Amino acid sequence: MEEYDLILDATAGNRMIWKNKHPPNIVFMDKRVDFNLLPDVNAVWEHSPFRDDVFDCVIFDPPHLVNP
């Protein structure tokens, strides 16, 4: 993966895709707060509190739904 200055993980959950759970250049956002690791920002990706062009990269790994 390329290196980016600032990354948003918009569906962070328990940060399962990350080896380092507390990197300084990643902002973790999730709508749920019942995880072992709390998100930095409690919000849903559809209504992100961030203005455009804040992040160099946005990671979107939504949970798998049984019945969408």
Q: Can you give the pLDDT at residue 67?
A: 62
What is the average pLDDT score of the chain? 89
Q: What digits encode the pLDDT tens for the residues 5-33?
A: 999 999 999 999 999 999 999 999 999 99
Domain that holds residue 31: 1-68
Q: What digits encode the pLDDT tens for the residues 40-56?
A: 999 998 899 999 999 99
Q: Can you give the pLDDT at residue 68?
A: 56
> What's the pTM value of the predicted model, to 2 decimals?
0.83
Q: Can you give the pLDDT at residue 45?
A: 87
Phi and psi at residue 17, to the nearest 5° = -85, -5
The residue among 61 and 68 whose pLDDT is bigger is 61
**How many domains does the chain contain in total?**
1
